[in-house]
Amino acid sequence: MAKCGGCGKFMSLTEGAKCDKCKSSYHRQCVGIRDAVPIATPWHCPECKRNVPRDNRADTPVRGHAPPAMDESHLHLMDTSSSSNTADKTTQEFQINIRAELKLFKEEFLNTVRHEFQVMRHDLSEIRTAISNTNARLMNLEERVAVIETQKQAQLQPSGASDLDNIISQLRSDINDRDQELLANDIQISNLPEISGENPNNTVMLIASKMGIKMEPRDIVCAERVGGRRITAVQSSAPVVTTLYVHTLTLLHTHRSSIFGLV
């Protein structure tokens, strides 16, 4: 970006005229050139035109003699004034440059801050959208959990629990009845002497035959002594517990005879 040699402001190279001699750039308005008028080539700025030396030929009849020379003191004053003007002009140009640089720096800083705020605003918008989506998913999950809990509670209503309790009670009753039936088929025979190598089944069939009941091995479910083996003769013999089938047990009940105490 170039600086106008007339007003001192920054300008684009395509907006003005450029001197072919000093290479300085000027606004069209600063050098009096209209926008629609093309710029002649070569083109010289006003400063270069002002510094073109004139032809002071002494043989011109209009000139005559050369003007008298100035004294040294007057020349010295003119030189001092020219130096002062140059310093003031340099100071003004420096101030103009500083102002332009500060203006550019301010514009760049503001543009950077605006861009950063735009990026931050965009990021915050994305974060807000993500949070909204997460909240929606959590609400959907909570609704699904509530539906599942409702279904679970519906399945575990008191009516269903009472049905299960009734089934369990019925099963317990059936088991007790069967246990009672099995106990009714058991016969305990006590005071039978223990013999080494005895067969409780044969002993039970022998006792039944003495009572007048015909019994076969298939009528006995199982027969065995209950309790520990007798160590001394003083101890009583362990009883023999026999489990019979139902029809054999019915034959025994018809005789109304007790088999306890038989030897």
Within-domain flag for 129: yes
Q: How many domains does the chain have?
A: 3
User: If residue 17 lies in a helix (H) or strand (E), which one and from where to where?
Assistant: strand 16-18
Whether residue 234 is contained in a domain is answered as yes
Same domain flag for 187 and 244: yes
For 13-22, 154-163, 194-203, which range has the lowest pLDDT when averaged over its residues? 154-163
- CB-based contact 25:12 (threshold 8 Å): no
Query: Does residue 204 lie in a domain region?
Result: yes
222-263 confidence digits (pLDDT tens): 888 887 666 665 667 788 888 777 656 565 665 544 444 443
CATH of the domain at 4: 3.30.40.10
DSSP secondary structure string for all residues of 205-221:
HHHHHHTT----GGGEE
Task: Give the residue from 29, 9, 7, 5 showing the smallest Cα distance to 18.
Answer: 5
Q: What is the DSSP letter of 184?
A: H
Residue 130, domain extent: 105-156
The kind and range of the H/E element at 186 are: strand 186-189
Least Cα distance to 250 among 179, 207, 190, 187 occurs for 187
Indicate whether 191 and 231 sit together in one domain. Answer: yes
| This model's pTM is above 0.75 | no
**Cα gap 5→89, rounded to integer Å:** 12
Q: Same domain, yes or no, for 197 and 248?
A: yes
How many residues belong to the chain?
263
pLDDT value at position 77?
Answer: 44
Please tell me whether residues 240 and 189 are part of one structural domain. Answer: yes
